Amino acid sequence: MTTRTPATPPRRTDARRNRERLVEAATRVFTAQGVDAPLDTIAREAGVGNATMYRNFPTREAILEAVLRDLHDELGRRAQDLLRGEPPGEAFIRWLAEFLDYTQSLLGLPEPLASATRDESSALYASCEGMRVAATRLLVRAQEAGDLRRDVLADDLFAHVLGIAWVTQYAGDKRAQASRLLAVLADGIREAPQSRRHRVGS
Amino acid sequence: MTTRTPATPPRRTDARRNRERLVEAATRVFTAQGVDAPLDTIAREAGVGNATMYRNFPTREAILEAVLRDLHDELGRRAQDLLRGEPPGEAFIRWLAEFLDYTQSLLGLPEPLASATRDESSALYASCEGMRVAATRLLVRAQEAGDLRRDVLADDLFAHVLGIAWVTQYAGDKRAQASRLLAVLADGIREAPQSRRHRVGS
DNA sequence: ACCTGAACACCGTTCAAGT
DNA sequence: ACCTGAACACCGTTCAAGT
């Protein structure tokens, strides 16, 4: 994965410590209340003024990215590891399932992830870039092996999984429903032996 | 479709007119700005005090339901008509495509529709009940005809389409992307001649 | 160079005072 | 029986005044 650093890293020791505390507090608060938790709660939890938080992280997305960065890198490495998984089609579907799991780990996470997809200049977009590239490679391998349909786009599949994560997030059996929907997606992209291709009428 | 009436229909003539104006204003505002538009805008547009709006429609969902009711009934009738469509599997998929189209007609609509699915006591849930029943019948016919997999649940498919509508709603080519994702869903639920069934590993 | 709490803006919801 | 505008609450963002 590429190394990323914030635009303006604080130079003073107390400032750096404040930044760390904010990220730790944000991790706790987002985990407990979801990613839409009031930002003031994070500042209070970190023991700093709300304006300090705002200067370090000008947007909710910025602090969320700091919280998620490591997880994204981990998912990227996971995609790389799965490049040795067999069969290639199932290795990619396996990664999709783990990505889905991740998007359900924080309440409300699908929304900022989907937004980031559309804004290449956003911090979250950069944070996801590594895993996006690695997972795309995993897909291409599966397509070249003849396991998965060649006409599906990687970005469509990431979006599709985000849609599944979003719609199932408040369901009572969210894990179960999400995996049922993912199974439909998976069956929809596997290459059929006798290639029967369908289109939905406009 | 069953007939539904508000809990407390206004008796006074001016009150009834205010109610009508509010629904008309809401239709315009939701269409122009999406379903998250400020409610005060609707009251102002209708020429009434905000509290009047709030009394007629205690929640955003309540006024949204008034705006959408006819569309839901229409989609329900459409499902009934398609019961004569052939082949049965494609008739159901056709309905899903029209439902998807509808959910993309107002910005932000997938969210309240998904919420309503989980709350049987909500106004929107009742508003969708007719089309839900009709579309389920359409699915069952397709399954009994052997066109579509018997192990998929109607509610899962409605949710799946809402997920697709949600994730594509801000995309530049939202119609195109949504129909690509729906094509994957459709291929995932069609019954394969030689029944090959896959599962995504836990 | 960085901090703080208060002020401001926005919007949903409720209330006091009408007619 | 119904109306109104103002008040209140919540929360994101900005600003004035520190050290």
Residue B25, pLDDT > 90, answer yes
Task: Identify the CA nearest to B183 among candidates B170, B168, B202.
Answer: B168
pLDDT at B169: 94
3-state helix, strand, coil in chain B (%, to 5): 70, 0, 30
Residue with tokens 């635009």: A7
Which of A118-122, A145-149, B191-195: highest mean pLDDT?
A: A145-149
pLDDT tens track for B136-184: 999 999 999 999 999 999 999 999 999 999 999 989 899 999 999 999 9
8 A C-beta contact, residue A50 and residue A39: yes
Residue A158, pLDDT > 50, answer yes
The pTM score is 0.92
Catalogue the E-assigned strands of chain A: none
Task: Identify the CA nearest to B188 among candidates A51, A182, A134.
Answer: A182
pLDDT at B97: 98
Q: How far is the CA of B186 from the C1' of D13 (A)?
A: 45
pLDDT tens track for B82-105: 999 999 999 999 999 999 999 999
pLDDT at B193: 65
Q: How far is the CA of A49 from the C1' of D17 (A)?
A: 14
Q: Mutate which of A109, A174, A184 to test chain B, going by most B C-beta atoms within 10 A?
A: A184
Nearest to A187 among B94, B180, B198 (CB): B198
For range B31-41, the mean pLDDT: 96
State the pLDDT confidence band at A1, using cuts at 50, 70 and 90: very low
Q: Which residues touch strand C (CB under 7 A)?
A: A 10-12, 14-15, 18, 47-52, 55-56; B 36-40, 50-51, 54, 58-60
